[in-house]
Amino acid sequence: MKLKTLLAAGVVAMSSTAAFAGCAIENSVPLKSLSAGFEAWKAVTDAMGECGNFEASLDQEFREKQPEAFAADPSLYHIGGVANATMIPLLNAGSIRPLDDLVAKYGQNLTPNQLIKVDGKVMAVAMMVNAQHMMYRADILEDLGIAQPTTWGEVLAAAEKIKAAGVVEYPLGGTFKTGWNLGEEFVNMYLGEGGTFIGEGNMPTINNAQGVAALETMKAMTAYMDPEYLVSDSTYVQQQFQQGKIAMANLWASRAAAMDDEAESQVVGKVVMAAAPNGSAAPASSLWWDGIVFASNMSDEEADAAFQVAMEGIDSEMVSANNDAAVWLIKGYTPGKLATGAAATAANGALPYPASGPMGIMHTELGNGIADYLNGAKDAATTLADIEAAYMTAAKEAGLVQ
Amino acid sequence: MKFKTFAAFIGPSVFMMLLFIAFPLVSVFQQSFYITQPIYELVDVETCTPGFLTQTCVTETQSMPTLDEHGEIITQTEFVGLQSYRNVLELGRAWEALSAGSWTAFQSIDFWKALRFTLSFTLITLPLVICAGLGIAVMINNATKAVRGPVIFISLLPFIITPVIGALSINWLFRGDGILTAALEWYLQRDIAMFAQAWTIEILMMFYRVWHVAPFAAIVFYAGLQTVNQDSLESAIIDGASRWQRLKYIIIPHLMPLIVFISMIHLMDSYRVFEEIVGFSSQGHVISLQWLTYDFLVPDQAGNRSISRASASAMLTMIGIALLLVPLLRRTWRDHHGGH
């Protein structure tokens, strides 16, 4: 007993020393950051905070604030957290700076993979990847003698068997909430069919056989899903999983840790992370990255300090302390069993999310337009034609299409 | 009162009204006829993004906005007349759908879908709010003095709750296997999914709105009930009028101006139905005009937003409210002038 207490005290003492020693530099320039608010960003900004003089805003609505805040002169924030798509408005407005010289000076620990290059210049430093991939209840599939499904055809067949066996309430879960989530599901499926979204002159190119195939797979899925699928977002699907109500879902890698969270989950250790099922051409998933950008409108001294602090935030120490919080791209990360799904999805050739200005509009129109097809109000071809028409209206208004 | 004193009293208020209501309104009106867009140029860009182990680089032609020497995006503003209104109304498609006799096709056009819901929501909840409000008011009025305070407090509670929070709590009570859905399922011995089709969501929304607004109507009516002429009521009782007849021939005519007032407030409020759509996250099934404006206004991930269409849609919503109010305003006008 006494020994245990002593040991525990020792561990606490050691970890607090580790916290003090968390930052190698002493920062004297006041710095601010604005990023999304999920677990990984919390870990990274906490690590940055150890350098002192640093204030982090973790905000789920960051993408609405960022363009204006970074366009101000001087910029309201020095460091920004972005993903593929949310970097576009900053890039377009020229409010983030090229980082080549800073990377050369302070970026010894970065891997080439982390450097996000646009037109040859490093514009952001990536820290993690995220993708939707297959999660399934190994115990259920094993009981029913179903092999790990690798294509959407197999997933639907497995769902049929699970439905017949009646072991869970709904065989499939899906992040089909109207809006961004539903749009993203189509993006995944359509990439899986080998489609492209935007063609020459920013014209839409989704009304084709691949688009119809993607929609049909989505509709086939709904037969095995909670009938209230149009209101279920990632958190809802995650909870359905945790409560043992669903057996399979193509869910975000960042949600994987929640499956084994003993405080919330009733299915600890039963959920296996696997690659995203394939469509007829590629994995039905898109790769996202999250990373750090730096404002143009700040002095070079501030940029220097901000970059150094950011490097401390995404160093190997932070990763080893928060190994399972995300699928990190940082040196020192050991991919655990929770990361296998995302890794396998990428290895199978999943494409990056095709972020661009026109794609932002396309994603919105997809998210708003697909519900009509799933509700049965329109057939697949009409739905896609209407989405293209809506895209054209919005793109013309934005000046992207003449 | 001297004009100077009057002006000093009313001045700040008029100034605020102009600054925060009239000018923005004029600006929205003006923006609905213009389109402001960045000037794009086509650039070949090589973009590299991380894979799990190695990077993937693609070269593609992208539209990039041009920047001026200060690093600001160069924009141009163009007068487009009624183009944004046409884009919102989509009259061509609407006419095509109607002449083909297809209600489903007509209802798949955003504006008309939203208008259908907004109108039915407004017109169905109106009588319900008035009846419920009157009912609660009569109930409070008939409660003994000792319990009147607590009864007023309890019946006011729904009105105090923040609309979005109220809508969310109804959402959670019925969503999936929420408590009330589970209870209904147990009672009816069948599976129920309240959020799987449009009509159940619409019923929940209307139920929520009536629950939320009826207390306001009730408190106004209750105030009105205090001024009912007691002599007329007594003579009615002596003449053998039933409770219902007294309500119909004495109380309701007396409360008529208040009923018109409540109706006007309710029409204006519920034509701008929005919290319910967000709270119930019903966009997949049901949308409203106000939500449509909001949706145009929200930037997507790439930062695009449709200000012009949002302005047009906002103006159309205002026109809609004005049209709805016409019969009631005419009535008040007539009453006002008849009285003199």
What is the reported pLDDT for A158?
95
- The first and second tokens of residue A340, run together, are 């296998």
Contact A178 B84 (CB under 8 A): no
Q: In sequence order, what DSSP letters do the residues of A236-252 get, joined into one string?
A: HHHHHHHTT-EEEEEEE
CATH superfamily of B114-338: MetI-like (1.10.3720.10)
Q: A362: nearest CA in chain B?
A: B300
* Closest by Cβ to A287, choosing from B51, B105, B301: B51
Considering only residues A206 and B333, tell me which one the structure prediction assigns the higher pLDDT: A206
Predicted confidence (pLDDT) at residue A162 exceeds the cutoff of 50: yes
Residue pLDDT, tens place only, B36-53: 888 888 888 887 777 666
Q: Which pLDDT score is estimated for B119?
A: 95
Mean pLDDT of A19-33: 78
Q: In this prediction, what percent of chain B has a pLDDT beyond 70?
A: 98
- Read off the pLDDT of each residue in A45-60 and give the average, rounded to a whole number: 91
Q: Indicate which of A230, A245, A353 best probes the interface with B, i.e. most B CBs within 10 Å of its own CB.
A: A230
Assess whether the previous peptide bond of A74 is cis (omega < 30° from 0). yes
Q: What is the average pLDDT value for chain A, to the nearest integer?
A: 89
User: What is residue B52's predicted lDDT score, i.e. its pLDDT?
Assistant: 63
Nearest chain A alpha carbon to B54: A113
In whole angstroms, give the CA distance from residue A153 to residue A147: 13
Provide CB contacts within 8 A for B258, sequence distance 6+.
B220, B221, B224
With CB atoms and an 8 Å threshold, state whether A178 touches B43: no
Q: How many percent of chain A have pLDDT more than 90?
A: 61
Chain A contact probe: residue of B56, B63, B69 with most A CBs at under 10 A: B63
Chain B residues closer than 8 Å to A118 by CB: 45-48
How close does chain B come to A75, measured CA to CA in Å? 13
Question: What distance in Å separates residue B73's CA from the closest CA in chain A?
Answer: 6
pLDDT tens string, chain B, 340 residues long: the values are 788 898 899 999 999 999 999 999 999 999 999 998 888 888 888 877 776 667 778 787 888 888 887 777 888 888 998 999 999 999 998 999 899 888 888 888 899 999 999 999 999 999 999 999 999 999 898 888 888 888 888 888 888 888 888 888 888 888 877 888 888 888 888 888 888 888 999 999 999 999 999 999 999 999 999 999 889 889 998 998 888 898 889 999 999 999 999 999 999 999 999 999 988 888 888 999 999 999 999 888 888 888 999 999 999 999 999 999 998 888 888 877 765 4
> Rounded mean pLDDT of A153-166?
94
User: CB–CB of A227 and B196 under 8 A?
Assistant: yes
Q: What is the mean pLDDT of residues A165-194?
A: 94
Does the distance separating the beta carbons of A117 and B48 come in below 8 Å?
yes
Query: Comparing A214 with B58, which gets the higher pLDDT?
Result: A214
Strands A246-252 and B75-79: unpaired
Q: Quick check: A368 and B295 CB within 8 A?
A: yes
Tell me the C-alpha distance between A270 and A143, whole Å: 12
* Closest among A120, A56, A81, A31 to A301, alpha carbons compared: A31
Instruction: Give yes or no for B59 touching A (CB within 8 A).
Output: no
Residue A230: is its pLDDT beyond 80? yes
Put simply, whether B69 touches A (Cβ < 8 Å) is no
**Looking at the partner chain, which of A117, A357, A372 has a beta carbon nearest the beta carbon of B47?**
A117
Residues of A in contact with B48 (CB under 8 A): 115-118
Q: Does B73 touch chain A (CB under 8 A)?
A: yes
- Which B positions 26-55 lie with beta carbon below 8 A of chain A? 35, 37-40, 43, 45-55
Given an 8 Å threshold on Cβ–Cβ distance, is A231 in contact with B281? yes
Note whether B300 contacts A371, CB cutoff 8 Å. no
The reply to whether residue A178 touches residue B283, judged by beta carbons under 8 angstroms, is: yes
- CA nearest A73: which of A294, A295, A300? A295
Q: Is residue A139 pLDDT above 90, yes or no?
A: yes
Instruction: Label residue B226 exposed, middle or buried (CB < 10 Å: 0-12, 13-18, 19+).
Output: exposed
Residues B272, B278, B280: CA angle, nearest 5 degrees: 115
What are B111's two structure tokens? 């504006």
Candidate from A48-57, A60-69, A354-363, B107-116 with smallest mean pLDDT: A60-69
The minimum CA-CA distance between B301 and chain A, rounded to whole Å, is 5
Q: How far apart are CA B277 and CA B280, in angstroms?
A: 5
- Residue B107 to residue A358, Cβ atoms within 8 A: no
Exposure on the CB side of residue B82, measured as CA atoms within 13 A = 5
**Cβ <8 Å between B176 and A372:** no
Distance CA A170, CA A166 (A): 8
A228 vs B57, B64, B196: nearest CB: B196
The pLDDT value given to residue B159: 86
User: Given an 8 Å threshold on Cβ–Cβ distance, is A177 in contact with B284?
Assistant: yes
If you count residue pairs, one on A and one on B, with CB atoms under 8 Å apart, how many are there? 177
Residue A329 has its nearest CB partner, among B50, B56, B304, at B50
B115: exposed, middle or buried (Cβ count in 10 Å: 0-12, 13-18, 19+): buried
Residues of chain A with C-beta less than 8 angstroms from the C-beta of B39: 399
Q: Does the pLDDT value for residue A9 go beyond 50?
A: no
User: Around Cβ B247, how many Cβ atoms within 10 Å?
Assistant: 14
pLDDT of residue B339: 53
Chain B environment of A346 (Cβ under 8 Å)? 51-53
What phi, psi does A175 have (nearest 5°)? -85, 75
**C-beta atoms of B52 and A356 within 8 A:** no
Domains in chain A: ranges and CATH: 25-129+288-339 (3.40.190.10), 132-284+356-398 (3.40.190.10)
pLDDT in tens, B302-340: 888 889 999 999 999 999 999 999 988 888 888 777 654
Minimum-distance CB partner of A113 among B50, B61, B309: B50
pLDDT for the residue numbered B53: 64
* Domain range summary for chain B, segments of one domain joined by +: 114-338
For residues A198 and A362, the answer to whether their CB atoms sit within 8 Å is yes
B284, A119: Cβ pair inside 8 Å?
Answer: no
Q: Counting beta carbons within 10 angstroms of the beta carbon of residue A374, is it exposed (0 to 12), middle (13 to 18) or buried (19 or more)?
A: buried
Measured between CB atoms, which of A119, A179, A359 is closest to B302? Answer: A359
Q: Which pair of structure tokens corresponds to residue A272?
A: 């296996």
> Which residues of chain A make contact with B50, given a CB cutoff of 8 A?
113-114, 116, 126, 129, 289, 329
- Which chain B residues touch A63 with a CB distance below 8 Å? 299, 301
Distance from CA of B223 to the nearest CA of A (A): 42
Of B43, B49, B300, the CB nearest to A289: B49
Instruction: Tell which B residues from 157 to 216 touch A, by Cβ distance under 8 Å.
Output: 175-176, 193-196, 198
- What does the block give as tokens for B129? 């709010």
pLDDT digit string (tens) for A93-115? 889 999 999 999 999 889 888 99
Contact call for B47 and A377, based on CB within 8 A: no
Specify the residue for token string 């601010």: A32
Nearest chain B residue to A91 by CA: give it.
B64
Which pLDDT belongs to residue A47? 93
Minimal Cα distance from A96: which residue of B? B71
Question: With an 8 Å Cβ cutoff, is B82 touching chain A?
Answer: no
Tokens representing B154 are: 């309890």
